[in-house]
Structure 1
Amino acid sequence: MQNFYEIDYKFATNDSYANQEQVDGLLDNYSTTHSPSRKDLLDDIKANFPVYTDQTGKVRILGSERALKIMNQITDHKTDKQLSLKDLTQIDFKLIPPSTNYEMYFVEDGQNAQTSYNAKDTFLDNYSLAKHANYLLQNNKKQNLLNDLNDLQQTVNLSDKQATYRFIDINRTHYLRAIVSNRYKFYDNQIALYMAISIISKYSVEHKQDFILKSMTVTDSKLYAYFLEKSPIKLNKNLTIQTGLVLSNSELGDGSASFKVCYTIQDKSNNRVVGLTDQIANINHGNNPLSIEKDFKNLQLFEEQRRDIIQAVRKVQWTKKLTRDDLDTISYLISHMQAPLPKQLKAKMAKCIDPNKLLGKSYTLMMLFNKFNSFIQNEDPNIQLIMEARISRWLSRFVK
């Protein structure tokens, strides 16, 4: 299903730097809307992830001021509750037209609720019922599933087992968006962004390099943020490169937050290529802030990877006129793209390499990958990350 909320931020030339108070507000605002039991976690994060500023109190990340304001525009009403199977009543499963997928409906504490995202399957997985349930639902045997759940509710050990149920209220509807174990440390979007700013502000001070928060997509559950160094580096008289880090995070318990090295190559005609390399640090939602802080020492590898990327892209034949062999190579790479990549994206990319349109013209690798980039930027952020990593691997086929 689509996100309940989604806001995109793109850097503009007049966007400014956030100050210490605005960055701290990410945690302070979070603490006022969530359980006080998380105060210790927030205190630990502040202790282990200080924010570095210049003499005027500014964090040297351009665009961070407006990005933080946009972050605060997500005014959805999120609640977390400790619940067990015995707390749920009137459980039912219904189709959501036009989809053929079922969602779960139930009552908790007198309030009607329904599942969203993957919460139904997560709930059923907790009782080893997901595959069995989908079979029953698709074969008009819903009552069998309800009987199974009723039996479980009568089983003391299973019925009493608690987890954190993550709800969101939209248009007077109470949605269950995720269920996470009690080991989950709730590094939600505000916290993940705070930690990212802390890490990048430290690097900025140590290397005397300002950054730009180039773009950010924040939804009710996901976060994607691209940080690029402010000053491009000349590769040659026609090309520049900016390196940086991309953060992705989820509040749904479906993986850790991660930092990967990214880069943007641009020529004087404003053709652009965005690439992505390996993960160098992550925020595991089961870890405490101190162990995460130790893991983030891997960000020292950023400087090393940055040098490697610059050296590698210098070898790419960006301005070479495309030949039939080049087009055959790219055609092969596109044809072997697998799910979850959309078929429409694959079709658009394949259409771009029509030999009848490209051969005999001054069409370069940079121009073609810029065209690919224009398609990729319109995709879901997860697809963008997958394709940007793939683009990086493809470029190794076109070195001098």
Structure 2
Amino acid sequence: MTGIRLQNRIFFTAGDECIDWSAALSEASAWAGAATRFAGLRVVFVVRDMRAALAVVAYGMVHDLDWGVIEAARLSPEVETRFAEAGVTLIEAGTGAALGQPAQPGDVVPGRVTVLTSGTTGLLKLIPHSKATLNTFDRVQGLPANSWFLPYQIGSYAWYQMVALGVFVPGQDLVPGDFADLARSFETALRRGRVTAISSTPTFWRHALMSIDQDVLAAAPLRNLSLGGEIVDQPILDRLAQLYPQARIRHIYASSEAGAAIVVSDGRAGFDAKLLEHDDRTIGIKVEEDRLYIRSPYGNHAASGGWIDTGDLVEARDGRIHFCGRAGNTMINVGGQKAFPPDIEAHLMAHPEVIWAQVTARRAPMVGHLPVASVVLRTTMDEDAAEAMLTQHCEGRLAEYAIPRIWDFPDRIPLRSSLKS
């Protein structure tokens, strides 16, 4: 149990009920029994709610199992086949019964944690991690006590990162959100004064800023805000700095394969290009052919010390490295001219009436594709007037071919289970 902080707390129902990790361990032990029954098995526990998932975390971590966790709602015959082929035995949390297809023989690695991701392909991938690679706060000295709102989907890399923070770092409590209505559960936790810190995505914050009472947001005693999971743009950094001038606001570059690698706390989008020149022999960053490569002790290839191609495109501007999106799905070819959705989105979200924007491509005769903008506005207005307003805003700032020609104005921000849009 070395390093595990069983006295750290978990607040359920937005703070109404509190248990510590020791109690969570007892809840899992009551149905799982002795850990020896899982010796020689690579297991993934199937859970139905956050409480069961966190109990499994305590059980798996304490006993150094080869383990992971998945929500029951994500299971399908195809997913079960993928697990069986990977040598994974599915175990139902609450009963301890085996589920799905018999697992094919495979290697068992005590202490391995299986992180599940579908990435941009939609195909389930099993990413191996460990306590060491998930505990990305081990280099942070003197982290003050916090209660962290936990908004992430069970079993995702970001969820494991935050759970590891609660398990390994003294004084770091967790307040799990309710995925049925994430914004409302966040607002409830804020009203009760339970939350002092949060790790989330820019899309989550835009959703919260649109959905939650502004007085409640402004009064929240937030001291630590971490952003990641997607491109962090200047408008959202500026809005959060204005709302929480007392808070430490950081944006973190991390992925399930590369782990956590880049932490930026200067309030500016992108990261300082000087980081490419700095190699502390622990974390390395380089750019080759506009692609970002990472070497990190928190990556799933950490033991080999190898470089990981993140698949992210970057661009150097004004002494900083800016993210341009994922390779293969970022550029719109408009009659031979290249338009980049992240750049167009950044320009749109700089408008004071825009809360959120997403730009995609639509096939068009003669020119191949046109940029299409989906925009959520701060106030309701006539769509023709909104289109004219934003078109004028783009003129002079974007190349003519990059200005959206088709517009859509949904009334709410689409929020996927990954908290991305």
TM-score, normalised relative to structure 1 = 0.32
Looking at both structures, which has the greater relative contact order when contacts are Cα pairs under 8 Å and sequence separation is at least 6?
1
TM-score, normalised relative to structure 2 = 0.31
Considering fraction of residues, name the structure with more helix.
1
